Amino acid sequence: MLKIENLSATVGEGEAAKTIINGLSLSVPAGEVHAIMGPNGAGKSTLSYVLTGREGYEVTGGSATLDGQDILALDPEDRASAGLFLSFQYPIEIPGVPVMTFVRTAMNSQRKARGEPEISAPDYLKKSRDVARLLNLDADMLKRPVNVGFSGGEKKRLEIYQMMMLEPRFMVLDETDSGLDIDALRTVAEGVNALRAPERGMLVITHYQRLLDYIKPDKVHVLAKGRIIKTGGPELALRLEKEGYDGVLAEAV
């Protein structure tokens, strides 16, 4: 499904450009959930931005494909229509644009790009109600401008709401657990798990093992200095939690 091969990328321009991703290879087959863990500055968030095409990040080598399609050549919106979704570590506030308008516009833009018919207003509302109920989201929140005045936990839940509404094929969750208390974490994980399916893949970027108690990964990768230095099963996350990153980092050298 998602295949990253020998990917390198820099942040910044000209003389100030800095290599953050440095020969990273990773493969997530359909139906699997992989976790990426790593210390601060390892390149975790950069990887999510490079995959989704944020400005200011330049790919200097390697490739990334989704079901064989080169995603790095696409504009961000086309990557989204191809099924790539990023749950932002810091969701952005959009004053003046209500959640409903935003998500419906996004949904219909993606459908249009894929040559599918638009969703009708009643169908959208029904789906929205169902998803909001599952995530404990207040209906009033969906009428408010996107993320404006939302608490950290509400913003994260709104990311998952969007994910469940848009039903992407591949999801990147960037530190979705940060800023969440245990109850919110459980709700968010429930939403994420509801999307697990044989045809979907997921990359869960996290600092702590805690999230992985709720979203069980098939594989755990350790990212350091811009590349994967170790891959293992869920037990690797437990070991990192116990021993910290130092042990694994030392082993890799």
Partner 1 sequence: MSAALKDMIRNPTVAELELVARYAALKADPRRERLFEAFALTGLPHRRNEEWRWSDFKAAVGALDASATPPADDPLASEGVATLKFTPQGYVAPAFLPPGLRLLPKDEVQAMGGAEDAPLGALAAALSGAKNAPATLMAEVTGETPVRLHMVFSGPGAINAARIMFLVRPGAELQVSESHLGGAAFSAALVECTLQPDARLSRVVYQRGGKGEAQAITALIHQEAGAETKQTVLAFGARVARIETRLVHQETGSHATLNAAYLAGDGYHVDFTSHVRHGARACVTRQVTKGAVVNGGRGVFQGKFHVPRNAGQQTDASMQHNALLLEEGAEVFAKPELEILADDVQCAHGNTSGQLDAAQLFYLRQRGIPLVQARALLTEAFIAQALEEAGIHEEALRAQASAWLAI
Contacts with partner 1, residue ranges (CB under 8 A): 52-55, 75-77, 79-81, 85-86, 88, 91-97, 101-103, 105-107, 109-110, 113, 145, 162, 166
Distance between CA 28 and CA 35 in Å, rounded? 10
Rounded distance between C-alpha atoms, residue 242 and residue 245, angstroms: 9
Q: Give whichever of 166 and 249 is closer to partner 1, judged by the CB atom.
A: 166
Q: Which is nearer to partner 1, 28 or 171 (CB)?
A: 171
Tell me whether residue 143 or residue 186 sits nearer to partner 1 (CB atom): 143
Q: Which is nearer to partner 1, 54 or 225 (CB)?
A: 54
Q: Do 109 and 96 contact (CB within 8 A), yes or no? A: no
Helix (H) or strand (E) holding 6: strand 2-11
Q: What is the C-alpha radius of gyration for the chain, rounded to an integer number of angstroms? A: 18
Q: Strands 227-232 and 219-224, how do they pair?
A: antiparallel
**What's the min distance (Å) between Cβ of 54 and partner 1?**
5
What is the closest distance, in whole angstroms, from the C-beta atom of residue 53 to partner 1 in the complex? 8
Query: Closest separation between CB of residue 110 and partner 1, Å?
Result: 4
Closer residue to partner 1 in complex, CB, 55/235: 55
CB of 206 to partner 1, least distance (A): 20
CA distance 175 to 205: 6
Looking up tokens 């996350």 gives 237
For the CB of residue 80, give the shortest distance to partner 1 in the complex, in Å. Answer: 4
Residue 131 CA neighbour count, 13 Å, CB half: 23
